[in-house]
Amino acid sequence: MRRSPKETDEAASITHRRGLLLGGAMTAMFAVLGARMRYLSVEQADQFKLLAEENRISIRLIPPARGLIQDRNGKLIAGNEQNYRVVITREDAGDVQAVLAKLAHVIPLTADDLDRTEKEMKRSSPFAPITVADRLSWEDLSKVALNSPSLPGVSPEVGLSRIYPRDTDFAHVVGYVGPVSERDLEGQESPDPLLTIPKFQIGKIGVERWMEDALRGKAGTRRIEVNAVGRVMRELERQEGDPGADIRLTIDAGVQNFAQARLGEESAAAVVMDVTNGDIIAIASAPSFDPNLFVRGISHTDYNALMENDHRPLANKTVQGVYPPGSTFKMVTALAAIKAGLITVDTKVRCPGYLEVGGRRFHCWKRAGHGAVDLERSLSESCDVFYYDIAQKVGIDKIAEMGRELGLGIRHDIPMSAIADGIMPNKQWKLERHKADWRIGDTINASIGQGYVLTSPLQLAVMTARLATGRAVQPRLVRSIDGKEPPVAEAPELDVAEAALRKIRLGMFAVMNSQRGTAYSSRIAEETLVWAGKTGTSQVRNITAAERARGVISNDQLPWNRRDHALFVGFAPFENPRYAVSVVVEHGGGGSTAAAPIARDIMLRALHDDLPPLSAYPSSQRNRIESMFERLPLRDAEGRAPAASRA
């Protein structure tokens, strides 16, 4: 059917309107697309260029150089050495197992190395570089560099690794570093980004641990360009971080080495303190170990050898070890009684060889007794009964107060690991610890440094420094940080009468210089350096009445671990004290025979700032001393170990 002209006009009009609408819509759409294209290509050009850049640019952290640790004279104790290593980045490597397999054909890698690397990559960010092998030779590093086109994500690097050039001398003081562990990160809400770098090393014990924040430094960054397969093409930008602070200790490396050598393979400890300011000049624990083994990755054989050694080389006996102080404690008991007004410096006590209390006999070390003794002679000849008697009068609480006044039973704040508080017991302590009342026998035992009393070699050195000066000297191990030395305030005076201290010092002087003194054989022959001291012997086993009746078994007839501990404390010079020393020899027997000779040698080394001259010793001992010095494994002036040790 044919349309009428009117219908044709209406259809044309509708078609025209629809065409206009469709054309308008299409124009609008193209306008929007054009505007978007202009926005993306012109206004957002820089942003998309940056995103494209980031697809080929990687930003990596640069570990800073760890701060150096030096002795008081600037001699290196802990430093850094160049270390060649190979790292792999998971994001850039692609097929990690295939790349590691290729790498194993280039440099020697064990199955354990490959397994460890894969485990670390799974635990770490895909952007984090994982160390596959370190301490490589230059030849192996060169092989990796030459084969890098076929090793995507693998990069050879030159870094720094910790080294301890004086190895065993400072192992217990400085400690060592090791890889960050999960335990190290516990409790840190926002850990330093450096700690997330696999195998990044931080301090584990000693100064390395307790001064970690200062030694670590701040990370740097570098921007590198990588190609499509992850190979590093070039370094675009580098911003170095801040190296860690250099720390200078109060210790004298020469005295430390001498003390360590003089202790030898004994299970022993020695501490030397400057009594004028508390500087620790030497703090040696024997036997020691080489901390470099832990940095490089100690073998099971080496670690088991350290753990199974009954002399406990890993334990720092200077601050961690606590021992009954024996007769080195007698000065504490005497001062407590004098301060309480219960005795005077001239009080005498009769010693028949024992004191009977409540039907029990407490024996003096001298079976026949000492007769009538005063304070000075009781110290010189180490009469036990004198202290049994006065301890009953003064009581344990006042003895404990004096012990703490002299630095015992207190944790001294120095940057070393596992510092023990020791035990300076009183009535309340026993009630809380053992749920039992304090007994008079406990007081008598404590009066001569036995029973519950436990002290560390560091505490004994502090006690001796305070006796020598009459001031509450505090030990100090860090001399300066980045060249800045904090001021040392003068120590306050002890709450002890000077007359009482003077009498104590005279008694300690007689110990060394009276022919009947317990340490007369360890006297110093130089008149300007004569010294004062006190021997101590602490029992580690009970002596039965039956054994005492038939004769006490001598130490040399007992197994090593059942022998008495040997102790000694002293200061020198007597008239103008400079240093205090304490020595503990585990199961060494008598303090006069085992500990005092070691203490004298170490004291003379500190006073002379060199190997002690033979003239400092009694003439009858000089040949023996000279022979002993020749056998000591001492370092040379440059800190190098003897040839036998280096071999």
pLDDT digits (tens, 9 = 90+) for 615-635: 999 999 999 999 999 999 999
pLDDT higher at 246 or 146: 246
Residues 186 and 243 grouped into a single domain: yes
For residue 294, how many other CB atoms are within 10 A of its CB?
A: 20
The pLDDT of residue 467 is 98
Residues 140 and 166 grouped into a single domain: yes
The pLDDT of residue 647 is 38
For residue 25, the SS3 value is helix
175 part of a folded domain: yes
The pLDDT of residue 31 is 75
202 part of a folded domain: yes
Q: Identify the domain boundary among 226, 249, 272.
A: 249
CA atoms within 13 A on the CB side of 555: 18
54 part of a folded domain: no
**pLDDT greater than 50 at residue 282:** yes
Residues 234 and 347 grouped into a single domain: no
Mean per-residue pLDDT, 543-567: 72
Tell me the average pLDDT of the chain. 88
Residues 612 and 624 grouped into a single domain: yes
For residue 553, how many other CB atoms are within 10 A of its CB?
A: 13
**pLDDT greater than 90 at residue 24:** no
Residues 139 and 203 grouped into a single domain: yes
**pLDDT greater than 70 at residue 330:** yes
Residues 284 and 389 grouped into a single domain: yes
261 part of a folded domain: yes
Q: CATH number of the domain at 556, please.
A: 3.40.710.10
Q: Residue 476 forms beta bridges with which residues?
A: 279
What letter does residue 229 receive in the DSSP assignment? T
What gap in Å lies between CA 455 and CA 275, rounded to an integer? 19
What gap in Å lies between CA 295 and CA 67, rounded to an integer? 16
pLDDT tens, residue by residue, 520-537: 999 999 999 999 999 999
Residues 100 and 84 grouped into a single domain: yes
The pLDDT of residue 51 is 47
Residues 115 and 261 grouped into a single domain: no
For residue 462 the two structure tokens come to 């502090």
Query: Which residues are part of the catalytic machinery?
Result: 327
588 part of a folded domain: yes
Which residues have CB under 8 Å from 499's CB, separation 6+? 345
What gap in Å lies between CA 504 and CA 387, rounded to an integer? 14
Q: CA–CA distance from 19 to each of 5, 30, 244, 392 (Å)?
A: 21, 16, 77, 120
Sign of CA dihedral 345, 350, 352, 358: negative
Q: CATH number of the domain at 180, please.
A: 3.90.1310.10
Q: Identify the domain boundary among 205, 226, 249.
A: 249
Which residues form the domain of 182?
A: 59-249
Contact 461, 274 (CB under 8 A): no
**pLDDT greater than 80 at residue 551:** no
Residues 148 and 93 grouped into a single domain: yes
Residues 217 and 257 grouped into a single domain: no
Q: Which of 26-35, 63-72, 153-162, 259-268 has the lowest mean pLDDT?
A: 26-35
| pTM assigned to the model | 0.85
User: What is the full DSSP assignment across 305-364?
Assistant: HHHH-TT-TTS-TTTT--B--GGGGHHHHHHHHHHTTSS-TT--EEESSEEEETTEEEE-
pLDDT higher at 402 or 544: 402
pLDDT tens, residue by residue, 226-239: 665 555 567 677 78
188 part of a folded domain: yes
pLDDT tens, residue by residue, 471-501: 999 999 999 999 999 888 899 999 999 999 9
11 part of a folded domain: no
Long-range contacts of 293-296, Cβ-Cβ distance < 8 Å, separation of 24 or more? 294/176, 294/178, 294/204, 295/161, 295/162, 295/163, 295/164, 295/176, 295/177, 295/178, 295/201, 296/135
466 part of a folded domain: yes
State CA 19 to chain mean position distance: 89
Exposure string over 331-367, b if 16+ CB within 10 A, otherwise e: bbbbbbbbbbeebebebebebebbbebeeeebbbbee
Q: How many domains does the chain have?
A: 2
Residues 159 and 189 grouped into a single domain: yes
Residues 398 and 265 grouped into a single domain: yes
pLDDT band at 646 (very low <50, low <70, confident <90, very high): very low
The pLDDT of residue 348 is 96
pLDDT band at 33 (very low <50, low <70, confident <90, very high): confident
pLDDT higher at 346 or 45: 346
